[in-house]
Amino acid sequence: MHPTDDDAALAGLTVLDLSQGIAGPYCGLLLRQQGARVIKVEPPHGDWSRQMGRARDGQTAISIACNLGKEGLVLDTRQPAGRQALAKLAARADVVIQNFRPGVAARMGADPVALAAQRPRQVYVSITGYGPDGPMAGVPALDTTVQAVSGLMHLNRDASGTPRRIGLVLVDLGTGLYAAQAALAALVKAGFSGRGRHVQVSMLEVAASLQAYQLVDEAMFPGDPLAMFNAPTGVFATADGLLYLAMLDDAMFRRLCQALGCEDWAADPGLASSAGRMPRAAELSQRLAARFATQPLAHWEAVLQAADIVFGRIAPTQALRSHPQALHLGLFKPLDQPGLPGLDWPALPARSARDAAALHAPALGEHTEPLRREFGL
């Protein structure tokens, strides 16, 4: 173990999180869970994530999950005193995060150019829907609308060809992750050069990046439908549950043939490579479906694991809490959320044991008075 493995990597850094919703707050959450102090600024009516879904005690699942461990401050930037206070706070922050449409943050008192002049080492993170300029720069964006515009919904069509949204807010979370990574890279650069950077990340860029290999595949084979990468693969019903089978390479297919008693497949030269199997995917899947239906999940898990085949039992999200591997890893940590006992949280990947303390998301304006005194607002 490195001697500093238990130290929070970003301890000593102050982040001013002006953002609302998911993408920006998730970026701030990642920095907080790496040890940074994150001050969350909300308007008097609160971050709109507090109204996203079912609410209890002024919180929703999203407002909790994206703001754990932050200090909550309310400022009314519609008033001159609020804008002055925000500018004063921003001038002392190592990182500023905002996800408003272009020009809004500057009107609030957090202009990136002015702040860079006052604090050259500062990293300023701007998250937008469609970028800082261009024909759609001023268009409001949500995860779902960017999924629609970017092709992600088209990629996720159902069997009848109807586009569907991806079930979780993939673009929002991906944007927060990309923004946090870019902010950390800029902080490293500032440590060498003494100069910060204005990091700009758009949800449209992230949606495109997430589809990189699909876009490359379509460019390589124009006009052809997007194909699976190998076969057989997909969801199969066993006698008492569902599993997902994946196929990595030709050697794995040969092991599958032996494990399932399909030696005729192994002897068929047309099935020796993925290029030959993909056109016959429906045929392969039909036979596998009949085979898997004869035995329960536990049987097939043992067979497939012994043959070193990639597979996974399909389970609801909540089942992950009691999954043996999740328990072994200590994946879930309790939250100290006032008024909402019994909540837990999946620990941030790569976090140290000491940085896994119980946290809570702030109530609206919870830390306003102590922050006002500390910063002389």
Residue ranges of the domains in the chain?
14-212+335-375, 234-318
Fold of 234-318: formyl-coa transferase, domain 3 (3.30.1540)
Whether pLDDT at 3 is above 60: no
In percent, the amount of the chain with pLDDT more than 70 equals 95
What string of DSSP letters covers 316-347?
A: -GGGGGG-HHHHHHT-EEE---TT-TT-EEEP
Q: What is the pLDDT of residues 203-225, one digit of tens each?
A: 999 999 999 988 998 899 888 87
At 247 the three-state DSSP class reads coil
Q: What is the largest CA-CA distance in the chain?
A: 79
pLDDT of the residue at 9: 87
| Mean pLDDT confidence for 42-55 | 94
Residue 42 is classified by DSSP as E
- Is 137 in a helix, a strand, or coil? coil
Q: What is the pLDDT of residue 357?
A: 58
123 and 183 Cβ atoms separated by less than 8 Å: yes
**How high is the pLDDT of residue 223?**
83
Per-chain mean pLDDT for the chain: 92
Beta strands 123-128 and 95-98 are parallel
Q: What is the pTM of this model?
A: 0.91
Nearest to 32 by CA among 301, 366, 359: 359
- Domain range 14-212+335-375, CATH architecture: 3-Layer(aba) Sandwich (3.40)
Q: What is the mean pLDDT of residues 128-156?
A: 95
Say how many Å lie between the first and final Cα of the chain, rounded: 43
